[in-house]
Structure 1
Amino acid sequence: MAGCVGGHPKPNYVFVHDSCDWVKPIYLTDHDIDVMDRQTKKDILTHNRSWQANCQEMKN
């Protein structure tokens, strides 16, 4: 029991934001836009705007 005093050590977590390595904007054709419902178009626009805000490299 003496070995358990203090409990287990807490793990050290490091958060690495690497989603920009595998997330890309969604490109649509004119046909895609014609056949998709309004909510799907809004969801894709939200995704693309999030990608642009968080992942697109600033061009100097």
Structure 2
Amino acid sequence: MLTVSCAVRGGVPVVTDTACDWVKPIYLTAHDIDVMDKQTKRDVLSHNYSWDINCNILVKTKIKP
């Protein structure tokens, strides 16, 4: 005997992206820049660039004039 049932699923689940809530740009002082090696400066620049591309637009759209 074959038994078939249908389940009714609720609405479509809502996915909320919270990655930009905990990622922030890295701010440096003049002293930080003086003492960092070249690779660390590149890493900070890369991090800040990625944040700007992926998250900054979200920050700008949340701010209402």
Identity across matched positions, percent: 63
Task: State the superposition RMSD in angstroms.
Answer: 1.9
1:1-60 correspondence to structure 2 within 5 Å: 16-57=16-57, 58=60
The one-letter amino acid paired with 1:44 is V
The one-letter amino acid paired with 2:56 is Q
| 1:4-59 superposed Cα distances (whole Å, 9 cap, x missing partner) | xxxxxxxxxx8753210000000000000000000000000000000000000246
The one-letter amino acid paired with 1:27 is Y
Query: 1 or 2, which has the higher helix percentage?
Result: 2
Moved over 4 A (4+): none
The one-letter amino acid paired with 1:25 is P
| TM-score, normalised with respect to structure 1 | 0.67
Runs of at least 5 residues in structure 2 that lack an aligned partner in the other structure: 1-13
| TM-score, normalised with respect to structure 2 | 0.62
Runs of at least 5 residues in structure 1 that lack an aligned partner in the other structure: 1-13
